[in-house]
Amino acid sequence: MDDVVHLADKYVFTPYVYPETLPEDDIYRQSVTLWILTTIGGYLLYFSVAGLSYEFLFDKRLMKHPKFLENQIAKEIWVTCTAIPVMTLMYVPFFLAEIRGHTLLFDDIDERSVAFNVWSVIAYIMWNDMLIYWIHRGLHHRWVYKYVHKTHHKWLISTPFASHAFTPLDGALQGSPYHLFVFVHPINKYVFLTCFVLVNVWTVYIHGSGIEMPPMLREIVNDEAHHEDHHLFFNYNHGQYFTLWDRIGGTYREPSRYKGKSPREELKLKGL
């Protein structure tokens, strides 16, 4: 992120936006810059990935399902668009700590061995999978659900545009493990940024893409079919990438789709 800020300062913010008297390393200037950049980046990532998934992968027959809301896609986009600037504002302290050198991020990937860099990715995935499971499950607690997480479950038949359609607090809580990782484990900053983008792509994938895992992976990977049941039945399949924590926590449910029962099958029975 520090390289992104540097380039933005060099070509945009320093010559055209901020006064000459405001130094580039001013903490308040950096905070505003980070908020602007992450907000723009959030919109670009959301609309590009969700848009492509909707256009080429989403089964649009699902829009005829009785549980699909009127004007649902517009509502999903509206919730996301209003939430992103607030979510990114909540993330600014994390990004600020990163660019000011208060994390375990390192610049040169050759500082560590190939094995270590591979392990850092594995550790990042395991860390996220564990924490997001428990955060997500906690958001389903009756004391919290209706205030924070209920909005995301309006989309019983979700489209790719529902992937980031959270309340700001919901999105920030579920995204916090990504940013906390750099305070507890070293990882190359470019590897981290790549992983961060890819986990957002994964979030889009599990919302309505229709892509199913090969049979040998269905018991292990929490794929789009698992998450489809999460939206339909609420208290199952809270995991992010794998089924491990759902199995440990007793919240695993075999996807209805893999048993021949799902919204798609319901539509087929109706001749749609």
Domains of the chain by residue range: 2-269
Handedness of CA 20, 21, 25, 26 (dihedral sign): negative
Per residue in 217-268, pLDDT (tens digit) is 999 999 999 999 999 998 999 999 999 999 999 999 999 999 888 888 888 7
Q: What pLDDT score does 269 carry?
A: 67
Q: Which residues contact 46 (CB under 8 A, 6 or more apart)?
A: 80, 84, 163, 164, 200, 204
Which pTM value belongs to this model?
A: 0.93
Query: Which of 186, 9, 162 minimizes the C-alpha distance to 75?
Result: 162
Q: What parts of the chain have a pLDDT lower than 50?
A: none
Q: For residue 234, with 0-12 CB atoms within 10 Å meaning exposed, 13-18 middle and 19 or more buried, which class applies?
A: middle
Q: Which residues, in sequence order, are CB contacts of 146 under 8 Å at separation 6+?
A: none
Give me the amino acid identity at 29.
Answer: R
- In one-letter notation, the amino acid at residue 96 is L
Q: Which tokens in the block code for residue 41?
A: 């980046």
Closest CA to 204 of 242, 169, 237, 162: 162
In this prediction, residue 223 carries a pLDDT of: 94
